[in-house]
Structure 1
Amino acid sequence: MFACLKGKRHENNQTFFRKNGGALLEELVAFCDGRSNPIRHFSAEELLRATNYYANNQIIVQDAGYLLYEGSLKERPIFVKKYAVDSSCLWKHFAYRDIVIGSQMSAHKNVLKVIVCCLETKQPSIVYEFTGKQILSNLISATNTESVLPWKCRLRIAVDLANAVTYLHTAFSRPVVHRDIRCSSILLDHNNVPKLIDFGLCISIPQGQSHVEDAVLGRMGYLAPEHAISSYLKEKADVYSFGILLLELLSGRRPTDVIMVNNVPHDDDQHRVEIFSKVVDPRISIEEEQLQV
């Protein structure tokens, strides 16, 4: 009986592998314009053991579409991203895109490096290098009183992330729009170097086009207004989201919690400095000259 059950489970794993592998390969080849990048593969059983069977105390990031687990594989610390399992193909599509673009971006120092993937589960899983468990949104949160990131460190993080987003926009044959830039999807390593961990919502702009039309996807507070209105996506959508991220780094608060005064004259620098002074995280020290626009 046990042999029968084991055989059935193995058969199911192979079915998932064939379905996921074929679709992932199509996605990868399309993104690379016919030049594929081989991705190593681990089994579902290996990832179960690596994460202590996906124990709750191993969870590092809990997102709407996935969980990021800390684990150990072949005596090497790792992260395992397990996507949500539902009846639709939506999360599966996001997982494919995450693997494809994440693997292409792994050479960048501000992206969490993809090591392997697992195609034997209903939704593909991703294995990353282990860099540290600090989440940017937690470190800058106003509720965090233990280890406050100084302003110079936040500025360096902003510059690093700007470089990563620029690379995404310019390094490939077609520009790629991230459309989900936010502090809660960024890990920091032991030296506070930021690492982007999620490329599931990315979409490429067709060759020769200035934009792509797609469903309105994104997070409340980060979504570019022009995309929400027209469903057209340009690289500028990431510029808007990055601006919101800068506001978070400056204030230590979520974008929906920051109230900005909109009727200040654009040429009145003193008023703008006063506004920013009210927004600045009181736990950090910023010289007034740094707030000049």
Structure 2
Amino acid sequence: MEACFSDEELKQASNNYDARLVIVHNELYWKWYKGSLDSRLVSIRKFEGGVHITEGQELSNYVINDQVISAKMSTHNNVLKLIGCCLETRPPILVNEFAANQIQGSRGSQQHQPLAWASRLKIAREIAHVISYLCTAFSRPIIQRDRYAEYLLRST
């Protein structure tokens, strides 16, 4: 992780967490905002509450655990790098590199041409490699149970 950002810096970077800059909204935990810090595009992960997470120690443990796992996963080429965080907020806000070619899923309204089979196979192979990495590279396997995993995996 490179840097610690202030709450004010992240508000400015995301235009005060403008809803139009939401990239991914995980209904249970995080909203990802597109932002710009020092002319660098970033993804700002802000905790937006959750059904299964409560205030206090449980929430702190969840966010700290997520931060540690994100930092560990950042060593893989096909996983977004954790570049910093804001420790002024409770819970901390995480800042990842921005993936310009992210997969939009059903939210995108643009019509796209189907990918060529060679591209599909390359993406499938790289996703399989990341999943294998997450299951074998650490003393405890990382099992991704929520939807923001599709954002963490860079599209190629």
What TM bracket, shorter-length normalisation? 0.7 to 0.9
Deviation at 1:93, TM superposition (A): 3.3
Q: Secondary structure at the match of 2:124?
A: helix
Is 1:59 matched up with 2:25? no
Is 1:48 matched up with 2:14? no
Q: Cα RMSD between the aligned structures? A: 2.8
Q: Quick one: which of 30, 54, 71 aligns to 1:103?
A: 71
Q: Secondary structure at the match of 1:134?
A: coil
- Measured in 1, the distance between the counterparts of 2:12 and 2:22 equals 15
Q: Name structure 2 gaps, 5 residues minimum.
A: none
Deviation at 1:185, TM superposition (A): 2.4
Closer, same or farther in 2 for the Cα pair 1:70/1:133, shift >3 Å? farther
Q: What code does the residue aligned with 1:179 have?
A: Q
- Measured in 2, the distance between the counterparts of 1:184 and 1:104 equals 14
Is 1:118 matched up with 2:81? no
Whether the 8 Å CA contact 2:44–2:95 is kept in 1: the answer is yes
- Measured in 2, the distance between the counterparts of 1:175 and 1:184 equals 18
Q: What code does the residue aligned with 1:150 have?
A: A
Q: Secondary structure at the match of 2:4?
A: coil
Q: What code does the residue aligned with 1:99 have?
A: Q
Alignment of 1:1-293 (within 5 A): 40-64=3-27, 65-85=29-49, 88-89=54-55, 90-132=58-100, 134-135=102-103, 137-138=105-106, 145-172=111-138, 174-180=139-145, 185-186=150-151, 192-193=155-156
Q: Secondary structure at the match of 1:79?
A: strand
- Higher helix fraction: Structure 1 or Structure 2? 1
Closer, same or farther in 2 for the Cα pair 1:43/1:164, shift >3 Å? same
Whether the 8 Å CA contact 2:33–2:43 is kept in 1: the answer is yes
Of the two, which has the highest radius of gyration?
Answer: 1
- Structure 1 stretch 41-50 or stretch 93-102: which is displaced more? 93-102
- Measured in 1, the distance between the counterparts of 2:114 and 2:93 equals 33
Deviation at 1:79, TM superposition (A): 0.8
- Measured in 2, the distance between the counterparts of 1:138 and 1:154 equals 18
